[in-house]
Amino acid sequence: MDTLTLTEAAALHIKDMMKENEEEGAFLRVAIKGGGCSGLSYGMGFAHEIEEGDTELEQHGIKMLIDKDSAPALKGTVIDYKQSLMGGGFTIDNPNAIASCGCGSSFRTAANAGKPEEC
C-alpha cells in the first residue's frame, strides 16, 4: 500500500494552484501536525528542498514529499478534490483516523493522539 494516493482531480487542481502561485516545479509537501479538535491536523504546501528523512513520491505529474514523522499516520490516505455548488475543496480519506471532528481537517490515530485544541 502506498503511503499516499493523490487522485487525478486533486493533481489537476494542484497544478493550477502551482501555476497561479508561480510554483511550477515545486514539491507538494504533505504533513500532519499537532492541533485541531481531535489532536492532529493536515498540512499541505509547496516546498523547494528535500529534507533528511523525506519520502519522495510522484503521482499524476505532482512530486510530493512526506516527512518521516508524518508517513505512518498518512499510510493509505487518499487526497481528492471535489467540486460542488458551494465551491470546491480537497478531501482527505485517511484509513488510520479513529476519530475526527466536524471541521474535517482534524483527526487522531490509534498510535498518535496529537494535541487536541478547540475547533
Residues spanned by the domain of 65: 4-107
Which residues have CB under 8 Å from 103's CB, separation 6+? 36, 37, 119
- Residue 27 is which amino acid? F
In sequence order, the β-bridge partners of residue 78 are: 5, 93
- The structural domain count of the chain equals 1
pLDDT of residue 50: 96
* Among the listed residues 22, 19, 21, 30, the one whose alpha carbon sits nearest the alpha carbon of residue 59: 30
Query: Residue 34 is part of a domain; what is its CATH number?
Result: 2.60.300.12
The residue assigned the cell 492541533 is 35
Question: Does residue 36 surpass a pLDDT of 80?
Answer: no
| Whether residue 77 has pLDDT greater than 90 | yes
Q: Let me know if residue 37 belongs to a domain.
A: yes
Whole-number mean pLDDT of the chain? 84
β-pair type (62-66, 27-34): parallel
User: How many Cα atoms occupy the beta-carbon half-sphere of 110 within 13 Å?
Assistant: 2
Is residue 115 situated within a structural domain?
Answer: no
What is the pLDDT, as a whole number, of residue 15? 96
In a domain, 112, yes or no: no
Pick the residue with more confidence: 113 or 35? 35
